[in-house]
Structure 1
Amino acid sequence: MARTLRLDPILIQAVIAGSLSFAHLHDIADAAGQAGWKAWAYPISVDLLLVAAWRRMRTLRATDRPARAAWTWFVIALTASVGANVATAGLLDLHHVPATLRVLVAGWPALAFLGGTLLAHTPPTAVPAPATTEPLPATPADPASPVTLDRTPAAPAPAPAGAPELPPAPAAAPAVPAALVVHARKVADAHQAATGHRIDTGTLRTRLGVPPAVADAIAAQLT
C-alpha cells in the first residue's frame, strides 16, 4: 500500500521562521565585518546554542533538578536571535554598523563556546545514599565495672544426623526511604521517555549513586 506524503503545517512554519532568522543573523554578522564563511557560521552557532539550552532544560526538569544555568544560556541565545531579527527591520544602517555591535559580534564565538561547554559537561546531581545506623551497646548498670565484649561469632549448632540440609536464608533487603523511591521512579520515567526502554538496575544505580543492594531494592519496588 502506497504511503501518502502529508505536509505538517507546524513543520513548514518552523522551516520558514528558521530560514528567515538564519538570514537575518547572517546579514548582521556580515555587516559587522565577519565576511565569507564566518558570516554563515554565526547563525548556526546561535541556533545550536538555543537548541542545546532548551534540551538541557527539559532533561533537568524531568529529573527535578535546577535548570537556572540552562535557562540563562537559553535567554542569551534567544536575545542574540531576536536582536538580529529586529535590527534588520530598518532600525540599523547595515552600511554603518556601530562599534558596539562589532564588538558583540566578534566576542560571540567565545561566549557560545563557553555556554556549549558548560551545557555539555554539567555533571548530574547524585542522590546521597541513605545512612545506616548501628545500634549502640547497652550501658552496664555499674559504670565502674569494666565490660568486655566478646565479638567472636558463635559457632552454629551441628545438625542432627540424617537431617536434610536446608538452603541458606536469603539476606534481608535494605530499607529504602520513600522519598528515594519517588525520586527513582521519576528518573526511570525520564529514562524510558528519552530512550523508549525501561531503565536497568545498573543504570539506575549509576544515576542515583547508591550501593548495589539499595539499587536492587529500589528496582524491585519500581516493577
Structure 2
Amino acid sequence: MASKLRVDAVLVQALIAGALSFAHLHDLAAAAGQTGWKAWAYPVSVDLLLVAAWRRLRSDSSSRLAWCWFLVSLFASLGANVATAGFLDLADPPAWLRFGVAGWPAVAFLGGTLLAHSPTPTVEQDAETPPVVEREPSGNTPSPPQYAPAPEAVAEPEPALRPVPALAPAAPTVPVPAALVDHARKIAADHHTRTGRPIDTDTLRARLGVPTPMADAIAAQLA
C-alpha cells in the first residue's frame, strides 16, 4: 500500500509540473505572436525534445549530443517558466524573444533528427570467441573441434664442463751446494748398483742427513 501511494504521488507531481510548464510555454509563444494552434504546438515540441534527449541519456549516459539537447530543451522550458512570472512584459515582448520563439521549430527539428538518427555505441564482442562447430551433412553428432598440440620446447643440452687439470706443485727453491749434489749422485749410483732401483727421496734424505725440502731439491736435480 505504501509503495502504491508513493508511486501515485510521484505521478501527480509529474502531471502538475508538466501542466504548468505546458501552460507557460503556450503563454510565452502566444505573447511572441504565435496564435492559434501554433501556440499549443510549442510546448509539445519542447517536451518531446526533452523526452528524446532523456531517453538517449538512459541508453548512453556519456553522449555529449544527448546532454547538449537535454540542456537546450530544459533551458527553453525553464526560461518560459521564469519569463511568465513577471520578469518580461508579455504585452510588449522584446525582439530577441520573438526571434527565439520563431526560430525554435528549426532548432527542435534539428535536435530531434540528430537524436533519432545518430548511431548508438554497441557492446564490443569478446575477442576470444568459441570455435564454430560445423555440422556434418549426414546428421551425425558433430565431433568436437580438434586442436593441434603445441610443440614442446626441446631443452638444449648444456655444454660439458671440462675438468681443469691440477697444476703440479712447484718444487721449493732451496739452494743446494754443487758438492752436495755430486755426493748425492754417487750415493744414488751406489744404491742403484746394489738394489737395481733408483734411490727414492726418503732414502736419499736419510743417507745425506738433510731436511726434506733440500732432499726434494737434490732429487729434482738427479732426475
TM-score bin, normalised by smaller chain:
0.5 to 0.7
Alignment of 1:72-221 (within 5 A): 72-126=68-122, 127=124, 130=127, 169-171=143-145
CA displacement at 1:123 relative to structure 2: 1.1
Distance 1:79 1:167, change over 3 A: closer
Identity of aligned residues (%): 64
CA distance in 2 between counterparts of 1:172 and 1:55 reads 47
Consecutive unaligned residues in structure 1, runs of 5 or more:
133-165, 174-223
CA distance in 2 between counterparts of 1:57 and 1:75 reads 12
CA distance in 2 between counterparts of 1:103 and 1:167 reads 73
1:44 corresponds in structure 2 to: 44
CA displacement at 1:67 relative to structure 2: 1.3
2:66 corresponds in structure 1 to: 70
CA distance in 2 between counterparts of 1:122 and 1:37 reads 31
CA distance in 2 between counterparts of 1:98 and 1:111 reads 20
Counterpart code for 1:74: F
Distance 1:95 1:131, change over 3 A: same
Distance 1:8 1:129, change over 3 A: closer
Distance 1:31 1:60, change over 3 A: same
Q: Secondary structure at the match of 2:81?
A: helix
CA displacement at 1:68 relative to structure 2: 1.2
Consecutive unaligned residues in structure 2, runs of 5 or more:
130-139, 148-223
Distance 1:54 1:172, change over 3 A: farther
CA distance in 1 between counterparts of 2:99 and 2:64 reads 27
The count of aligned residue pairs is 132
Distance 1:169 1:92, change over 3 A: same
Higher relative contact order structure (alpha carbons within 8 Å, sequence separation ≥ 6): 1
- Higher mean C-alpha deviation, range 122-131 or range 45-54: 122-131
CA distance in 1 between counterparts of 2:119 and 2:79 reads 32
CA displacement at 1:170 relative to structure 2: 2.2
Q: Secondary structure at the match of 1:95?
A: coil
> Higher Cα Rg: structure 1 or 2?
2
